[in-house]
Every structure is written in structure tokens, then in C-alpha cells.
Amino acid sequence: MTIMKASHILVKDEATAKAIIDYLKKHPTEPNAFELLAQKYSICPSKAKGGDLGVFNDGDMVPEFEAAVLKLKNGEITQAPVKTQFGYHVIKRTA
């Protein structure tokens, strides 16, 4: 069993997700950029916590989301939006 921890920014359209990823790539040292963008743009209730989803195990998340998290190293952000039935995610692995 793999234990993961991640944050995400969930938006309705791919263009918005790509714009968020582009911003994060251009401002890699901006403090709390991911969390602030989550609070501003995410449509998920986790936005109140800067997108923090906490700890989860294999099978707790939809397969597309989980597969994307497993490919990331701690601190990395997805380089392309991850599409699920909920919308488009920008994901950051936090542990």
C-alpha cells in the first residue's frame, strides 16, 4: 500500500489549468504560489486549505488522479492538467 499526500487546484476547463501551470513554471520561487492560486481558482472545497487533500492511500482517489500523483516526486507539480470526471487538476505532491 502506498501512502501519498497531495494538494490540487481543480478547475472546470483545460485552458485555466494550463494557465495555472504556466504561471507556476514562470514563478518557481514565489512563496505559497500554489496555495494562493488554489484559494483563488479551485472549485474544490479543499481550496480553503490551499488545495491540501491530506494523506490518502491506494484506491482513495480516482485512478487518473492517483496515477498522476504516483509519477511525481515530493514537491513536484504536474506539467499538464489531469482530467477526471470532476474537471481538470493541477496537482502538487507534498509527501
For 1-95, list the strands marked E by DSSP. 3-11, 52-57, 82-84, 87-93
Per-residue model confidence as pLDDT tens digits over 55-79: 999 999 999 999 999 999 999 999 9
Query: What's residue 65's pLDDT?
Result: 98
Per-residue model confidence as pLDDT tens digits over 11-61: 999 999 999 999 999 999 999 999 999 999 999 999 999 999 999 999 999
C-alpha–C-alpha distance, residues 74 and 3, integer Å: 12
Query: What's residue 2's pLDDT?
Result: 85
* Domains of the chain, earliest start first: 3-93 (3.10.50.40)
Query: What's residue 1's pLDDT?
Result: 75
pLDDT for residue 90 is more than 90:
yes
* Closest by CA position to 14, among listed 67, 73, 78, 93: 78
**Backbone dihedral region for residue 87 (phi beyond 0: left; psi -120 to 50: alpha; all else: beta):** left
What counts of helices (H) and strands (E) characterise the chain?
3, 4
